[in-house]
Amino acid sequence: MHNRLSESWRQLIGFAPRKPDAGQQQTEARVIHRTKREDKTRIEAFKAHRADIVRSTQWRNRRWAVLIATNLLFVLSFWLDIQLLEGSLTASRFLGFHMIDLNAALQVALAHKHIPINLIIGTVTIFLFWALLGGRAFCSWVCPYHLLAEWTERLHLYLAERKLVSDHTFHRGLRSVLWLLFAALALISGYTVFETLSPTGILSRALIYGPGLGLAWVVLLLLFEVAYSRRAWCRYFCPVGLTYGAVGSISPLQIGYHLDSCFHEGDCRKVCLVPHVLDCVIKGRASDTHVNIGADCTRCGLCVDTCPTGSLRFEVRGLQNLL
């Protein structure tokens, strides 16, 4: 358990996943790894069905609905003056109760060096909320940039398939370096520098208070992702993702991987925003028959939708044992 958490954090800050030593693998998992290929009839049976399996869009649809509804609630609360969810994604009030984005709160605390009580209340509320609901689930279930990037990602993949563009990867440690640098910049300059560039804040404000020049920066980011590097902002740059990822490392809401039923075809890794968290699905890598996917996972559910064998599932840690 302790090892798994530290491995999860290592991956979160940018290290490549480590292959587990044979000694670290549970006996049961070792047996499955060894004997899986021997059951030829099971593999043949699966292959025969493979073409008939329709990829589900269940979780994606639910997620898009939640993301759009949340952002719409912000917009309508202001436009119709119904005061359900006032403010924007950086800070808001839900029925009068303070909610403050963890990264924005950090920037303000470092820049201003005063922490008023409302900032504490709002930050603790949001911390508990996402600690329960899976940290980076904020990214895929709430952040409006994530949705736009998801759509333009299709364009990137379409063009990449036709060899018109190719994906250039960055070192994932970049995000951690940027997190530290923007924290240092806020502390030293006394100004929340990152907020100038955060497409999350820019988009949220543009939706609620009307469009502005800031949208040009968002378009530039999307173009960069289409033409040069797939999902670059969410994968390598955005410090907000790191903040929420850290919170999600202790979250009971996780994607669970079940080794037994997996055929190691790797479809999940192709659709995943953060494929390093799915390292355990590679043949021979899983250290146990059941693995909780790491902190960097955005709980977007694309892998759950994609997996033809149901080996990846949404799970609530602890609850499974109780039931």
Partner 1 sequence: MAKPSERRRFLRTGLGLAALLGASGIAWLPTPAASANRLRPPGALEEQDFLSACIKCGQCVQVCPVSALKLADLGDGYGIGVPYIDARAQACDFSCDAVQCILACPTGALTYHKPADLPVRAGMPVAAPPVLLAKKKDPEPTLNLKERMGVAQLTRPELCLARQGKGHTGPAREAGFTGMMRFMSVDRWKPIPLNEHAFAVEICDLCVRTCPIEGAIRLIPLADGKMTPEVLEPCLGCGVCEMACPTEPAAITILPRQGWPHA
275 binding partner 1? (CB under 8 A): no
Q: In degrees, to the nearest 5, what angle opens at C-alpha 52 toward C-alphas 301 and 289?
A: 50
Residue 247 Cβ vs partner 1, minimum distance, rounded to whole Å: 18
Using CA atoms, how far apart are residues 142 and 136, in angstroms rounded to an integer? 10
Burial of 151 (0-12, 13-18, 19+ CB in 10 A): exposed
User: Binders of partner 1 among 221-240, rule CB under 8 A?
Assistant: 232, 236-237
Query: What is the dihedral sign for C-alpha 270, 223, 163, 174?
Result: negative
Q: Which of 209, 219, 223, 317 binds partner 1 (CB under 8 A)?
A: 209
Q: In degrees, to the nearest 5, what angle opens at C-alpha 133 toward C-alphas 132 and 137?
A: 145
Q: Which stretch binds partner 1 (CB under 8 A): 17-25, 60-68, 168-176, 308-316?
A: 168-176
Using CA atoms, how far apart are residues 7 and 35, in angstroms rounded to an integer? 27
- Token pair, residue 89, equals 């994604």
181 binding partner 1? (CB under 8 A): yes
Using CA atoms, how far apart are residues 25 and 84, in angstroms rounded to an integer? 50
Across the beta sheet with 312-316, what order do the strands follow? 290-292, 253-258, 312-316
Residue 101 Cβ vs partner 1, minimum distance, rounded to whole Å: 8
184 binding partner 1? (CB under 8 A): no
91 binding partner 1? (CB under 8 A): yes
Q: Which of 86, 133, 264, 289 binds partner 1 (CB under 8 A)?
A: 86
168 binding partner 1? (CB under 8 A): yes
Please choose, from the candidates 138, 152, 322, the residue with its C-alpha nearest in 3D space to the C-alpha of residue 226.
152
Q: Which stretch binds partner 1 (CB under 8 A): 36-44, 56-64, 102-110, 158-166?
A: 102-110
Contact 74, 84 (CB under 8 A): no
Query: Residues in contact with partner 1, total (CB under 8 A)?
Result: 56
30 binding partner 1? (CB under 8 A): no
Q: Which of 95, 213, 322, 323 binds partner 1 (CB under 8 A)?
A: 213
Residue 103 Cβ vs partner 1, minimum distance, rounded to whole Å: 11
CB-wise, 214 or 266, nearer to partner 1?
A: 214
Across the beta sheet with 85-88, what order do the strands follow? 85-88, 91-94, 97-100
Q: Which stretch binds partner 1 (CB under 8 A): 15-23, 24-32, 211-219, 293-301?
A: 211-219
Q: Which of 98, 231, 235, 285 binds partner 1 (CB under 8 A)?
A: 98
Q: Which stretch binds partner 1 (CB under 8 A): 65-73, 109-117, 250-258, 281-289?
A: 109-117
Contact 162, 145 (CB under 8 A): no
294 binding partner 1? (CB under 8 A): no
262 binding partner 1? (CB under 8 A): no
166 binding partner 1? (CB under 8 A): no
Give how far Cα 212 sits from Cα of 6, 206, 207, 219, 225, Å. 42, 7, 10, 12, 21
DSSP single-letter state for residue 253: E
11 binding partner 1? (CB under 8 A): no
Residues at the interface with partner 1 (CB under 8 A): 77-78, 86-93, 98, 100-101, 104-105, 108, 111-114, 116, 118-119, 122, 168-171, 173-174, 177-178, 181-182, 185, 190-197, 201-202, 205, 208-209, 212-214, 216-217, 232, 236-237
